[in-house]
Structure 1
Amino acid sequence: MGLIKINNIQVYTYNGVLPEENRLGQRLEIDVALTVPIETLGTQDKLSQTVSYAEVYTTITEIAKTRQYQLIESLANQISQTILAQYHLVEKVQLRVRKYSVPIAGIFDNVEIEVQVSR
């Protein structure tokens, strides 16, 4: 098994619990790692025999931009489940979502959640 990774996907969304988050929006960053049988996928050197990371990128950004969630945990779970449903070669999805505009009185860079989903 091997990993296909897409790092630091950036999307502007209107997710959050507070009305200001839903109205003003914020930037999210998403990292994804897909566990796939690379040892068999790359033998023919054909895109049709593997997982297109361009298509995975589009799947992730469409979900993040077109659906609204209160929790980034819900967003991460939806993305993970969709990837497993649409890309049958993917055995496991590891996804991290970072949120920067968090309404917490304190000094920090971001909050991040991570989810791992397997078949």
Structure 2
Amino acid sequence: MDKIHINGIKIYSYHGAIKEERVLGQYFIIDLVLHLDLSMAARTDDLSQTVHYGEVYELVETIVKGEAVSLIEHLAGKINAQLFDRYAKIVEVETTITKPNPPIDGNYDSVGITLKGKRER
């Protein structure tokens, strides 16, 4: 299976289980791996045979800037579900969401999750 990678989408928003996260906000970094067959796009040079990266970015931005959620796991689930709804070509998706500066005392670079999804047939 072929893959499209969209890496380092950086969006400021207000998600989190702690009240301060929803008041102050923080950056979220989203990385996507879209699994699909790209052979026709490779042969034909036709945008309709792939997934438009710009549209995917806009969809992710709308979701992340939208209604606040407590868990980034839930946020990733919303992204995966909407990608499957919009793009029939996507067979699997991996969404990684990283919080570079969560309100956790300690010495670390970031925290994050990766949620994988497969299209249900």
TM-score under structure 1 length normalisation = 0.95
Contact 1:42 1:50 in 2 (8 A): no
CA distance in 2, matches of 1:8, 1:100: 12
**1:105 deviation in Å?**
1.6
CA distance in 2, matches of 1:75, 1:41: 30
Contact 2:28 2:100 in 1 (8 A): yes
TM-score under structure 2 length normalisation = 0.94
Q: How does 1:39-118 map to 2 (within 5 A)?
A: 39-118=39-118
CA distance in 2, matches of 1:111, 1:77: 17
- Number of the residue aligned with 1:23: 23
Structure 1 unmatched runs, 5+: none
Aligned residues: 119
Contact 2:80 2:95 in 1 (8 A): yes
**1:46 deviation in Å?**
1.2
CA distance in 2, matches of 1:5, 1:105: 32
CA distance in 2, matches of 1:33, 1:18: 29
CA distance in 1, matches of 2:105, 2:11: 24
Question: Residue 43 of structure 1 aligns to a residue in which SS?
Answer: helix
CA distance in 1, matches of 2:44, 2:2: 16
Identity over aligned pairs, percent: 37
Contact 1:7 1:30 in 2 (8 A): yes
Question: Residue 34 of structure 2 aligns to a residue in which SS?
Answer: strand
Question: Residue 3 of structure 2 aligns to a residue in which SS?
Answer: strand
CA distance in 2, matches of 1:100, 1:55: 25
**1:109 deviation in Å?**
1.0
With 18-27 and 41-50 compared, the bigger mean Cα shift is at 41-50
**1:41 deviation in Å?**
3.0
